Amino acid sequence: MTESGLLIIISAPSGTGKSTLCRKLISDFPNVCYSVSLTTRVPRRGEVQGKDYFFVSKNEFKQKIKRGELAEWALVHGHYYGTPKNFLKKNLVKGKDVILDIDVRGAMKLKKRYPQGVFIFLAPPSFSELERRIQGRRSNSEATIKKRLTNARWEMGRIGSYDYLVINDRLVDAFTQVKSIILAEKSKVKRSKKKIQKLNLL
């Protein structure tokens, strides 16, 4: 008797700190696994195939869309990004919580398919700090940074479609807030039907 896992969606303008936060969550919550996306963009220094992303060609990506293998996909900053459907289904059924780091458009597509998901928007404390963090990554050209900052303003305008807002000023505080959200969501009575049945049997 296993409760279905929690689907946790985190969106944020590129450079806000999603990947950093997700990595911390996975190491602290043994029941949380990370949905590795497919992308057609080139790997950044240090990124590992199959761990950070599945780096694929445009053709491969289009085949996946055709075969219905993606739960959602979007064109972000000129590259395709998508979530493998099988991984999600398999883990949620097993009772694993799955965390997704995806853009605003993809998140809104997923909301239609998984309205029970928990949608968290992670925001930078300011645009100047966001620019500093993107530049700190040192693997983006000036044009790429500009594109990401312009997109950031548009993405920030979509906060209203999310369930929670977390501001990533100090990482420890943002992490505590996201942890609290997950713990509270997992304690909801509507997600505890099987636990309640079990209690009745004791």
Place of tokens 């997700």: 22
Choose which of 61, 81, 119, 121 interacts with ligand 5GP (CB under 6 A): 81
Instruction: Report the C-alpha gap between 189 and 183 in whole angstroms.
Output: 12
> Could you tell me which stretch among 24-32, 66-74, 76-84, 167-175 binds ligand ADP (CB under 6 A)?
167-175
Of the candidates 60, 163, 41, 161, the residue with the CA atom closest to the CA atom of residue 109: 161
**In the chain, what is the straight-line distance between the N-terminal and C-terminal CA atoms, in Å?**
14
Per DSSP, what are the bridge partners of residue 55?
A: 39
Per DSSP, what are the bridge partners of residue 166?
A: 122
Total residues in contact with ligand ADP, by rule CB under 6 A? 14
103 binds, among ligand 5GP, ligand ADP, none (CB under 5 to 8 A by kind): ligand 5GP
Kindly state the tokens that stand for 170. Answer: 């100090």
Q: CB 41: neighbour CB atoms within 10 A?
A: 15
> Could you tell me which stretch among 12-20, 64-72, 83-91, 179-187 binds ligand ADP (CB under 6 A)?
12-20
Choose which of 9, 18, 73, 98 interacts with ligand ADP (CB under 6 A): 18
> Could you tell me which stretch among 23-31, 60-68, 102-110, 177-185 binds ligand 5GP (CB under 6 A)?
102-110
Question: Is 74 an interacting residue with respect to ligand 5GP (CB under 6 A)?
Answer: yes
Fill in the DSSP letter of residue 161: G
Q: Which spans of this chain sit near ligand 5GP (rule: CB under 6 A)?
A: 14, 18, 37, 41, 72, 74, 76, 81-83, 101-103, 105-106
